[in-house]
């Protein structure tokens, strides 16, 4: 049996007006509500980066949510990469800006 059956990881970089509008908190709250593990952080270029691991359908729900974002944000682009779930994280957390 494949241990990654239905399990994936999502790496995304969200561009637009996504800093200073509660975007990281929005991502963390949504990810935790979907039982996802990983992290979110601001980037010096003004984008927000995130890594999430979990069930494929839960990751898709997170992706759908971040394409819209919280009410004060304006998402112009989301760059995504899918991979197998590496089970690297035990919770969803904030990382320092990079």
Q: What is the pLDDT of residues 79-91, one digit of tens each?
A: 999 999 999 999 9
Rounded-to-integer distance, Cα 89 and Cα 76, Å? 28
**In 3-state terms, what secondary structure has residue 20?**
coil
pTM of the predicted protein model? 0.93
Catalytic annotation present for 42: yes
Position 4 scores a pLDDT of 55
Catalytic annotation present for 77: no
Position 6 scores a pLDDT of 82
Annotated catalytic residue: which of 4, 5, 42, 43? 42
In this structure, what CATH number is given to the domain that contains residue 52?
A: 3.30.70.100
Q: Is residue 66 part of a domain?
A: yes
Number of structural domains in the chain: 1
Q: Tell me the average pLDDT across 60-70.
A: 97
Q: Is residue 39 part of a domain?
A: yes
Q: Is residue 93 part of a domain?
A: no
Q: Is residue 70 part of a domain?
A: yes
Range of the domain at 53: 7-87
Annotated catalytic residue: which of 5, 24, 67, 72? 24
Q: What is the pLDDT of residues 2-21, one digit of tens each?
A: 455 689 999 999 999 999 99
């Amino acid at each position: 049996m494949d241990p990654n059956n239905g399990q994936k990881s999502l790496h995304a970089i969200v561009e637009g007006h996504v800093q200073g509008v509660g975007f990281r908190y929005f991502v963390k709250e949504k990810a935790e509500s979907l039982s996802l593990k990983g992290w979110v952080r601001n980037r010096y270029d003004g984008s927000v980066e995130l890594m999430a691991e979990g069930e494929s359908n839960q990751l898709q729900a997170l992706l759908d949510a971040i394409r819209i974002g919280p009410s004060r944000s304006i998402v112009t682009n989301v760059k995504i990469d899918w991979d197998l779930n590496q089970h690297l994280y035990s919770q969803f957390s904030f990382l320092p800006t990079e």
